[in-house]
Amino acid sequence: MDLFTQEENILSVSEITNSVKRVLEKSFKGIKIVGEISNFKAHFSGHWYFTLKDANAQISCTMWKGNNTRVRFTPEDGMKIIVSGNISVYPPRGSYQIDVRAMKAAGVGELQAAFERLKQSLSDEGLFDVKNKKAITRLPKKIGIVTAIDSAAFRDMVSVAERRFPLVELIVASSRVQGDGAAENISRNIKLLDKLGNIDTIIVGRGGGSLEDLWAFNEEIVARTIYDAKTPIVSGVGHEIDFTIADFAADLRAPTPTASMELATPNQEDILNYITDFFSNSSTNVNSIITNFKDEIFGITNSYGFKSHDFIINNNMQTLDNYLFRIENGVNQKFLKSKNELSVLSNSIESYNIEKILERGFALVEQNCKKITRAKDFDSSKKTKIKFYDNEIEIE
């Protein structure tokens, strides 16, 4: 039997390929596949090309830039992942591939492995070297904060700053701290604060969460931005047991967001105690020096060699007393000046005490747990709490 007698059944290469393309692409939509990455390539256009394989088979994959920007980790050869997408056929080569729409690590173990690989790679480059760490300013005038402005972590940091060092100014760059684009957003805001040039310390942080929740702080882009910043950076991400790549790249790691503000600010009580102790010790030391010189002079004037020269001593005794009086008077004036300066500094710090301000007749207006300091921010339709020195009232 001649298989070629029926010419109407003869198809071109394009026709059979297009038929296969229609069947495959119609039949395999929204599929999910698990496998291991190999031959991963990130094209300069932003698209990703790689192979997904298991022990017995492999399939080519393409993930376009518009989709891969939502991936929260950097894919590497050997990583086990789960992809979802559609089967597509590329006619010029007559091959099929997966048009990947989404990708995630196949379990926490894969994320942890990716974390360890990136940590080792950046460590080998020297990004975590202690010799490259910058010192944190002891008396900051301005502190930048990169976190979600509506988070509990941010409110805790503000509370700590008000309690410990109310003179410091806080500059906030509100950021997404998890999800799509969070790492890029964090990096961009660190650069923004760093370029200002007048920020003493930048705090980067967020509250606790799972490894996946904290993954934005494990991205290479964030680590390199922290390392390249000229401003000292404190990392306070998650709970005390959580460690991120950002912690290792930062100049100082804090176990929590609250602790990061405590490390970045001095305690005003410690400052006042230091000033008081300094002047007290200085006064004691100067008085001790004067007393020692008096004793030494008295011993000399009463020695045998001086007894026969009483008339010389008597003539110069008054001059010596005048010098001593001038010294004591000068020291007392210095102490008085220092005491007045200390009083001015204490009053300046005390003027920031909210209770003192309320006691003078001012009131504190809050809406939705937010302090209203300008008339333009007041919303008469919202519930309002007004705090006076002696009581609080609420207005519906």
Number of domains in the chain: 4
Q: Is residue 1 part of a domain?
A: no
Examine the domain organization and report whether 258 and 160 are in the same domain. Answer: yes
Which residues 6+ apart lie within 8 Å of 79 measured at CB? Answer: 36, 37, 105, 110, 113, 114
CATH number, residue 76: 2.40.50.140
78 and 189, same domain (yes or no): no
> Of 171, 179, 42, 24, nearest to 97 (Cα)?
24
End-to-end CA distance of the chain: 94
* Amino acid 217: pLDDT: 94
What's the average model confidence in pLDDT over 279-292?
A: 80
pLDDT of residue 7: 57
Indicate whether 256 and 151 sit together in one domain.
yes
Please answer whether residues 364 and 358 qualify as being in contact, where contact means their C-beta atoms are separated by less than 8 angstroms.
yes
138 and 245 share one domain: yes
Could you report the per-residue pLDDT of 207-246, keeping only the tens digit for each? 888 888 888 999 999 999 999 999 999 999 988 888 899 9
pLDDT for residue 198: 94
Shared domain for 71 and 99, answered yes or no, is: yes
Which among 331, 350, 369 is the end of a domain? 350
DSSP strand pairing (201-206 vs 142-147): parallel
The reply to whether 249 and 299 lie within a common domain is no
d(CA 259, CA 333): 42
Cα 253 from chain centre: 9
CB burial readout 80-90, b (16+ within 10 A) else e: bbbbebbbebe
387 inside domain: yes
Asked, for residue 6, whether it belongs to a domain, the answer is: no
Query: Which of 215, 239, 264 represents a domain boundary (last residue)?
Result: 264
| Assigned domain for 5 exists | no
Q: Are residues 343 and 207 in the same domain?
A: no
pLDDT at residue 190 is higher than 70: yes
pLDDT tier at 26, thresholds 50, 70, 90: confident
Does one domain contain both 137 and 203?
yes
CA distance 82 to 109: 13
Instruction: Specify burial of residue 229 (Cβ count, 10 A radius: 0-12, 13-18, 19+).
Output: buried
Give the C-alpha separation, 324 to 337, whole Å.
Answer: 20
Tokens of 24: 């495959």
The Cα-based distances of 112 to 84, 118, 211, 255 in angstroms read 22, 10, 8, 19
Residue, of 391 and 172, whose pLDDT is higher: 172
Mean pLDDT over 157-179 rounds to 93
On whether residue 339 sits in a domain, the answer given is yes
Residue 2 lies in a domain: no
* Closest by Cα among 79, 58, 68 to 103: 68
CB 80 within 8 A of CB 105: yes
What is the span of the domain harbouring residue 91? 11-106
- Is the residue at 341 inside a domain? yes
Say if 4 falls within a structural domain. Answer: no
User: Do 80 and 53 form a contact (C-beta atoms < 8 A)?
Assistant: no
Residue 49 confidence (pLDDT) above 70: yes
239 and 290 share one domain: no
Average pLDDT over residues 254-269: 91
Using alpha carbons, select from 180, 166, 206, 225 the residue that is nearest to residue 69: 180
Dihedral sign of CA atoms 287, 293, 299, 302 in order: negative
* Among 317, 332, 350, residue at a domain's last position: 350
- The mean-pLDDT minimum among 159-168, 196-205, 326-335, 353-362 falls in 353-362
Q: Are residues 391 and 335 in the same domain?
A: no
pLDDT at 203: 97
> What beta strand segments (E) does 46-141 contain?
48-53, 58-63, 80-90, 95-105
- Which residue, chain included where needed, has tokens 């010294």? 327
Do residues 383 and 339 share a domain?
Answer: no
Of 216-220, 285-289, 322-326, where does the model show the most confidence? 216-220
Q: Is residue 287 located within the same domain as residue 379?
A: no
